[in-house]
Amino acid sequence: MLIHIHIRDFTIIDQLELDLAPGMTVLTGETGAGKSIIIDALNLVLGNRADSGVVRHDCARTDISATFDISNIKTAQAWLEEHELNVENNSECILRRTITHEGRSKGYINGSAVPIQSLQTFGDNLVDIHGQHEHQSLLKNDMQRQLLDDYAGHADILAALATTYRQWKIMGAELELLRNATQDRDARLDTLRYQIHELETLALTEHEVGALEEERTRLANSGRLLDTCQTALHNLYESDTNDIFTMLGRTLSELEQLRTLDSRLSSACDLLNSAHAQIEESANELRHYRDTLDLDPARLSWVEQRLDAIHQLARKHRTVPTALTTLLATLKTELSSIEHRDEHLEHLQSQLAALSHTYLQQAHQLTVSRTHTAQVFGKKVTDAMQPLGLAGASFAITLQPLNTDTQEKEQEVRFSATGMERIDFLVSTNPGQPLKPLAKVASGGELSRISLAIQVIAARSSHIPTLIFDEVDTGIGGSVAETVGWQLRALGESHQVMCVTHLPQVAALAHHHLHVSKESMQGTTTTRIRALTDTARNEEIARMLGGVEITAQTRAHAREMIGQANKKRRS
């Protein structure tokens, strides 16, 4: 549950520290005091979208953090463990969000930076927020389906169904593409076979281009290579008297004789000995190179013709010569694929049929569960509506198959990522009247009360520990308001409930009461929140009852309401 929230420089809040307790907590105050600002701040720390407009005027950034006790929330503990964000005792978790005045936003979990999406994903395990305008979204079929599935706990089967559906769509698209490609099959086969024949006739090997270019360079310059090699041999070794080898030998012989006279010549003599041997070895290498050098104009002509054929074919295929071997392999693969297209088509059809069968099994399982849950949920909402000024009203949920064309006699059921049926919320607000879609029957006030009944029933089955109701009791009063208060109070026995309300009947039933007010000092407006003592609480409920002028009678009425609530709670 939420145990602490810290807000700094958010809209008209400069600094706020708020400790929260189990049970039902109400937030009350004058209109415009900023009661819903607390909910807005919590929405941000749970990953909702934000912009720079939330940053308090003349401040650099908004900073919001919320501390949760997760000691009994196994899903949250598992998520933190999986993402390596858990703390040592794994009983508390801190979520933090910062937004700068330039609009940059950062999120943190237990001090580690995380994507904002992670805040939202993790926050779904911690808090469920019901807004004051949520009844409008209940008119949409997608929201109705989501609410029913959430109540039934269909998350796993929906995830599996969506995965199967995506695979089925991909496989179907691939099959359609293959079928369309069959029309051009014969022309493409002829082209491929001709191109492969050309490349196979060329018989180019992997490293042949580089070897041929090197050989062409050598053959084209063979005369120069031979002349230079012969000159080098003459100068180094093959002159009768003046080659380097002979002169170095004489010099070395003379120095060797002097070596015995002065040992300091030893190093020079050793180096010359090594040079003398290397010159002889170099001469042998040059002689071997000269004897093997090929002066073959016919070979040069063949190499040039071969390279020309390779380059022409490369230009034809708009590629480089070295890529022709890879191109041949690619064309052979395509040819094989087309030649075996019938086999591939049959394989895809088989796979698509298997996926369709899996989808139908999963969808049927979902439909059966939805049908059962719809009956249970519908009865509970009908019962919850009776004390909300809707006596005799009834509520039901129907499942309508999705069809490609409802006018056809033979209707083809359409697959979707969320199942094979549309969920419709139906209501009858008067006894004897037929059930009709929610959007076509309920008035604004009725819709608000029906929405409240749905939210309360949905929340009772929720495994999320903290439930927040932001002015969901708008538009009701009197005994109905007291009934709403008792329903929220009952939720507070098993969940942490926070409720923003204007109704004294609801506020009188809370375990804890927080008062929200505005203060203006030196031209600056700020929002303040304080926990009310028994006396202050009595005064606040009297204000909610009496408006501008609070009389002794109004205060007595407030004390009576709180006293009656406490008496009923004890009994």
Task: Quick: pLDDT tens for 309-324.
Answer: 999 999 999 999 999 9
Considering the domain architecture, whether residues 505 and 570 belong to the same structural domain is answered as no
Q: How many CA atoms within 13 Å lie on the side-chain side of 494? A: 10
Q: Give how far the C-alpha of residue 38 lies from the chain's centroid of Cα atoms, to the nearest Å.
A: 28
Amino acid in the structure at residue 359: Y
Q: Which residues neighbour 545 within 8 Å (Cβ) at sequence distance 6 or greater?
A: 504, 554, 557, 558, 561
In whole angstroms, what is the distance from residue 374 CA to residue 368 CA?
10
Q: CA torsion 535→536→537→539, rounded to 10°?
A: 90
Q: Is 332 a member of any domain?
A: yes
**Do 498 and 566 belong to one domain?**
no
- Separation of alpha carbons 345 and 198, rounded Å: 29
- Report which residue type is found at 541: I
Q: Is the pLDDT of residue 492 over 50?
A: yes
Residue 401 located in a structural domain: no
CATH number, domain with residue 57: 3.40.50.300
Residues 73 and 206 in one domain: no
What proportion of the chain, given as a percentage, has pLDDT over 70? 94
Q: How far apart are CA 92 and CA 68, in angstroms?
A: 6
Q: 523 exposed, middle or buried (CB, 10 Å; 0-12, 13-18, 19+)? A: exposed
Average pLDDT score over residue span 47-70: 90
Has residue 486 been placed in a domain?
A: no
Q: Which of 311, 339, 367 is the last residue of a domain?
A: 339
Query: Is 511's pLDDT higher than 50?
Result: yes
- Fill in the DSSP letter of residue 33: S
Q: Assess whether 83 and 14 both reside in one domain.
A: yes
Query: What's the rounded mean pLDDT across residues 257-267?
Result: 87
260 or 417, which is more confident: 417
What confidence score (pLDDT) does residue 568 get?
66
Q: How far, in Å, CA of 320 to CA of 311, rounded?
A: 8
Domain shared by 31 and 117, yes or no: yes
The CB density around residue 513, as the number of other CB atoms within 10 Å, is 23
Q: What are 354-380's pLDDT values in tens digits? A: 999 999 999 999 999 999 999 999 999
Q: How far apart are CA 42 and CA 121, in angstroms?
A: 14
pLDDT digits (tens, 9 = 90+) for 114-126: 999 999 989 888 9
Own/partner pairs, 129-133, CB within 8 angstroms, 24+ separation: 129/39, 129/42, 129/43, 129/46, 129/468, 129/470, 130/455, 130/459, 130/467, 130/468, 130/469, 130/470, 130/472, 131/39, 131/470, 131/472, 132/36, 132/470, 132/471, 132/472, 132/474, 132/500
| Residues 95, 203 within the same domain | no
The whole-number pLDDT of residue 133 equals 57
Q: Say yes or no: 509 and 565 in one domain.
A: no
Question: What pLDDT, on the 0 to 100 scale, is given for residue 439?
Answer: 77
Same domain? For 302 and 279 the reply is yes
> Looking at residues 242-258, what average pLDDT do you find?
87
Q: Is residue 407 over pLDDT 50? A: no
- Stretch 410-436: mean pLDDT, rounded? 84
Does residue 199 contact residue 208 with C-beta atoms inside 8 Å? no
Give pLDDT, residue 125.
Answer: 85
**Per-residue pLDDT averaged across 473-489, rounded?**
81
Average pLDDT of the chain to the nearest whole number: 86
Q: Looking at the domain assignment, is residue 405 inside a domain? A: no
Domain end, chosen from 287, 309, 339, is at 339
Please report whether residue 323 resides in a domain. Answer: yes
Per the structure, how many domains does the chain have?
Answer: 3
Residue 180 inside a domain? The answer is no
Domain that holds residue 537: 532-571
Q: What is the pLDDT of residue 220?
A: 83
Q: Are residues 221 and 110 in the same domain?
A: no
Domain boundary among 339, 356, 382: 339
In the prediction, which pLDDT does 196 show?
A: 93
Structure tokens at 522: 């030196």
Question: Average pLDDT for residues 161-176, to the nearest whole number?
Answer: 92
Asked whether residue 107 falls in the same domain as residue 203, the answer is no
Distance CA 312, CA 308 (A): 6
Q: What is the pLDDT of residue 549?
A: 78
User: Is 164 a domain residue?
Assistant: no
Please state, as a whole number, how many other Cβ atoms lie within 10 Å of the Cβ of residue 277: 10
Residue 81 shares a structural domain with residue 111: yes
For residue 135, pLDDT over 60 is answered with: no
Q: Does position 519 have pLDDT exceeding 90, yes or no?
A: no
Q: Are strands 394-401 and 421-428 parallel, antiparallel or unpaired?
A: antiparallel
Neighbours of 210 (CB within 10 A): 11
- pLDDT number for residue 410: 41
Closest CA to 362 of 186, 178, 159, 225: 159
Same domain, 198 and 107: no
Q: What is the CA radius of gyration of the chain?
A: 43
Residue 166 falls inside a structural domain: no
